[in-house]
Amino acid sequence: MRLSKRGEYGLRAMIALAEPADKSATPQMMQIKAISLREQISPKFLEQILLTLKNAGLLHSKMGVGGGYYLARSAKEITLGQIFRVLDGPVAPVKCVSHMSYEPCGCPDEATCGLRLVMGDVRNAIADILDNTSLADVTKRQNAVRKKLASKK
C-alpha cells in the first residue's frame, strides 16, 4: 500500500509551498532549487513532478529571473487527495472499488465479492482522510505539534 517517491515528493513540495514563510498574504513563490534543497529531493526529478502538478492545474509558475512555483489556489482549497491522484493515480486498492476510475475486476459476482466489500471500506477510509485534508490543514497541524513540543521543553 505504499506511496511512490513521486507522490511523496510532490506532497512534500506542495506542503512546503503552502507554509506561509513570512506573514505576507500573497501566495508564496518558491524556486525548484529552494524546495529541492529544503526537502532533499533531486532537483531534476522534482522539476518533473512540479511540472506534472502544474499541468494538472494545481500549481502556477512564473518564468524567468525571480520566477518560481506557487499554489494555483489557496491552501484551503487544495486537498491531499487531489495531489495524490495526479501523481499516484486512483486511491482505491483495486479498480473495482474506485469512484474516480472504476473498472470491473475479474470476480464472478462483484455485488457479493467479499474482498471487494472490504477493499471498498479501505478505499473509503483512505479517501476520507485524503479528500478532507487540505494543505492548510496540514500546515496548521504542523504548527500545533511544533507549539506543543516547544511548550514541553
Residues of the shown chain interacting with DNA in the complex, contacts defined by CB under 7 A: 4-6, 30-33, 42, 44-45, 47-48, 50-51, 54-55, 61-69, 88
Shortest Cβ 19–its own copies spacing (Å):
9
Helix H or strand E segment including 80 = helix 80-88
Residue tagged 487540505 (cell numbers): 134
CB 10 within 8 A of CB 86: yes
Looking only at residues 107 through 146 of this chain, which bind its own copies when binding is defined by CB under 8 A?
Answer: 107-108, 111-115, 117-119, 121-122, 125-126, 128-130, 133, 138-139, 141-142, 145-146
Residue 68 interacts with, from its own copies, DNA, none (CB under 5-8 Å by kind): DNA
Residue 21 interacts with, from its own copies, DNA, none (CB under 5-8 Å by kind): none
CA dist., res. 14 & res. 23, Å (int): 18
Shortest Cβ 119–DNA spacing (Å):
14
CA dist., res. 132 & res. 141, Å (int): 14
Report the residue number, 62 or 117, with the smaller CB distance to its own copies. 117
Q: Which of 77, 80, 100, 82 is nearest to 90 (CA)?
A: 100
Identify the DSSP state of 96: G
Q: Which of 23, 41, 21, 25 is nearest to 13 (CA)?
A: 41
Interface residues toward its own copies, by CB under 8 A: 1-3, 8, 11-12, 15, 38-40, 80, 88-94, 106-108, 111-115, 117-119, 121-122, 125-126, 128-130, 133, 138-139, 141-142, 145-146, 149
